[in-house]
Homo-oligomer: A and B are copies of this chain.
Amino acid sequence: MVNLHTPTKPIFLTPELAIGACDVLLMAGPCSVESYVQTRAIAEAVYHHGGKILRGGAFKPRTSPHSFQGLGLEGLQILRDVADEFGLLVITEALGVEHVPLVAEYADIIQIGSRNMQHYPLLWAVGETEMPVLLKRGFMSTIAEWLAAAEHIASRGNEHIILCERGIRTFETATRNTLDTNAIALVKQTTHFPVVADPSHATGRVDLVLAAARAAVAAGADGLLVELHPNPAEALSDSDQSLPLEMLPQLVGQTKMIATALGRNLS
């Protein structure tokens, strides 16, 4: 048996749902929450394909100050409403210390973005909550720095940390980032944290997302964080890498095959 997940200490998101245990968890949703209608359509699709967790961005850290910066509080409310309608959990990003209380109120898992991996005041703030925290690897950070950032969170008392490999910056320009499957395998072996992968940012290209999702699960990932959109061409952010809803069955089907080959389930 492959037995990838033995040393991992599962984190119970609900009394019935744990990450880092046998199931590989799908966390899917829009890059940005754009409207109730868009978000509900996605949540419905996630629910119908057996997903349990809705992802979505309300506060959007964007490289340019002139890009859409997210719906803010309204986005959080939409996420919570549609998630509750379908019995899903919510994961969303806290962009700064000042957002932590608000995000903690609306979400089930707080996400720390790649560009904030070493923003220590934010790490300390989520470390003072008891909520599960998904810590994205900085796209420029070594594995050692990533684990040190997790230690910053844990140093304030919160050990409910989920690591997320989302691709690193390399010299290659044909893809947005390079998925580091070695890192997935290495942190699985050397830490007790669950680890998930983000094949959307790790590729930046819809045509590579499925392959990256398969590779990540094969390397041992405990979950996937995937961007979906009803109409990617019109998405307000990340339109090149958001899977259209009609590809969700393929994503679920292919990753389930890999998970099953390793003696795991997908949900």
Of B184, B186, B203, B217, the contact of A182 (CB 8 Å cutoff): B203
A65 at the interface (CB under 8 A from B): yes
> Which residues from B are CB-within-8-Å of A96?
97, 119-122
Closest to A143 in B: B174
Total identical chains: 4
Question: Given the interface contacts A61-B120, A151-B65, A182-B178, does A171 sit within 8 Å of B215 by beta carbon?
Answer: no
Would you call A169 and B140 a contact (CB within 8 A)? Answer: yes
Alpha-carbon distance between A140 and B171 when the two chains are bound, in angstroms? 7
Which residues 209-225 of A sit at the B interface, judged by CB distance below 8 A?
211-212, 214-220
Q: Mark A62-84, 1 if CB is under 8 A from B, else 0.
A: 11111000000000000000000
Closest to A167 in B: B182
> Which residues from B are CB-within-8-Å of A212?
181-182, 185, 219
Of B116, B138, B183, B257, the contact of A262 (CB 8 Å cutoff): B257
Would you call A172 and B261 a contact (CB within 8 A)? Answer: no
Question: Given the interface contacts A61-B120, A148-B64, does A181 sit within 8 Å of B179 by beta carbon?
Answer: yes
Would you call B182 and A182 a contact (CB within 8 A)? Answer: no
* Interface size band for A: 35 or more
Would you call A174 and B186 a contact (CB within 8 A)? Answer: yes
Alpha-carbon distance between A119 and B63 when the two chains are bound, in angstroms? 10
Could you say which of A121, A151, A174, A181 has the most chain B C-beta atoms within 10 Å of its C-beta?
Answer: A181
> Which residues from B are CB-within-8-Å of A155?
65-66
Of B98, B180, B211, the contact of A220 (CB 8 Å cutoff): B211
A58 at the interface (CB under 8 A from B): no
Would you call A171 and B170 a contact (CB within 8 A)? Answer: yes
Of B98, B121, B142, B182, the contact of A211 (CB 8 Å cutoff): B182
A193 at the interface (CB under 8 A from B): no
> Which residues from B are CB-within-8-Å of A214?
2, 218-219, 262
Closest to A127 in B: B65
A211 CB to nearest B CB, Å: 3
Alpha-carbon distance between A172 and B98 when the two chains are bound, in angstroms? 32
Contacts A97-B121, A143-B172 given; 8 further ones with Cβ under 8 A?
A: A63-B148, A115-B119, A140-B141, A174-B186, A175-B183, A182-B212, A185-B212, A261-B261
Contact sample, A vs B, 25 pairs, CB 8 Å cutoff: A2-B257, A63-B118, A63-B148, A64-B148, A65-B148, A65-B152, A66-B155, A96-B119, A96-B122, A97-B97, A139-B140, A140-B171, A142-B174, A168-B170, A170-B180, A179-B180, A181-B181, A181-B211, A182-B203, A185-B212, A211-B218, A215-B219, A217-B218, A257-B262, A258-B258
